[in-house]
Structure 1
Amino acid sequence: MLYTRELDTTILFYVETLGFTLAERNDDWGWASLYKDEVAMMLAVPNEHTVFEKAMFTGSFYFNTDDVEALWNQLKDKVKICYPIETFEWEMREFAIYDNNGYILQFGQNMESR
C-alpha cells in the first residue's frame, strides 16, 4: 500500500508512465488497486488515523524485468532519475527512478542468466 495525497496524479503516473492497469478505484475510500504482469499494488489517500506528511519509505521498491535496457530507454526521458542504468558487480543491470510522490522504484535484470 502506497500512501499519496494525490491519488489521481499517482494513478496517472503508474498507468501512463509505467504501463500499469487500474483494476479498482473507490473515491469514497480514497483507494485504488493497480496491476502489471505479476505485480499488484494498492494506493491510498491517508485517513485521519494515518500519520502522513509526505512519501516516507526507508527503502525502495524493486522490480525484476526481462529487458532492462528497453525499459530504461522507454522511461529515461519521462521521469526523475535516481541513478542511471549500470551493471553492478553482483551481475544486476539496473536503474532507479522516483515516482510522482518521491518513492524510489528500481528496475533490474540479472545478467548471469542471459
Structure 2
Amino acid sequence: MEHLQIAIPVLASLDIDRTVKFYHENLGFDRIGWKDKDYAVIARDKIEIHFWKCNDKIHPEHTSCYIRVKDVDGLYAEMKKAGVVHPNGALRDQPWRIREFAILDEDGNMIKFGENL
C-alpha cells in the first residue's frame, strides 16, 4: 500500500496579504483556500502552498521547496516575463536528468521547478 500521497510546502511569510498578492499576480496562483493575518493556503493547477506569518526574514531567506512540472520551458518563459527568476536560477539541464529553474518571492523563499528529461 502506498501511504504517502502528496507533499504540501509550508513557507514563511513576512506579510500574508503581500505574499498572496505576489503569488497571484506573478506566479498565477489563482485559488485561495484560506487566508487570515497569520496563515494562507493558495493553489495553482495541482499545487497547493501554505504560508505562515513570521517576523524574522531569516526564515524565508533560508527556506525552499521543489515542484515537479510539465512544460518547464513554458513555465520558465512565464516566470521570466514576471521578473521572478532567481539571479542564479536560469533554466538548465542538470546532471541528475532534470531541466530546472528557480524563482525567489519577495520574502526570499526559493522555489525550484523541474521536469524530468
Cα distance in structure 1, aligned partners of 2:56 and 2:52: 14
- Tell me if 1:69 matches 2:73: yes
Equivalent position SS for 1:96: strand
Among candidates 99, 110, 114, match of residue 104 of structure 1: 110
Alignment of 1:1-114 (within 5 A): 1-20=10-29, 21-27=31-37, 30-46=38-54, 52-56=55-59, 58=62, 60-77=64-81, 78-81=83-86, 82-111=88-117
Unaligned runs of at least 5 residues, structure 2: 1-9
The answer on whether the counterparts of 1:65 and 1:107 sit within 8 Å (CA) in structure 2 is yes
The two structures, once aligned, show a CA RMSD in angstroms of 1.8
Count of matched residue pairs: 104
Structure whose CA Rg is larger = 1
What amino acid is aligned across from residue 4 of structure 1 in structure 2? S
What amino acid is aligned across from residue 12 of structure 1 in structure 2? K
1:26-83 deviation line (CA, Å, top 9, x unaligned): 23xx22111122222222223xxxxx41142645211111100001111113214241
Cα distance in structure 2, aligned partners of 1:4 and 1:101: 7
How far residue 11 of structure 1 moved from its aligned partner, in angstroms, is 0.3
What amino acid is aligned across from residue 57 of structure 2 in structure 1? K
Unaligned runs of at least 5 residues, structure 1: 47-51
- Give 1 or 2: higher helix fraction: 2
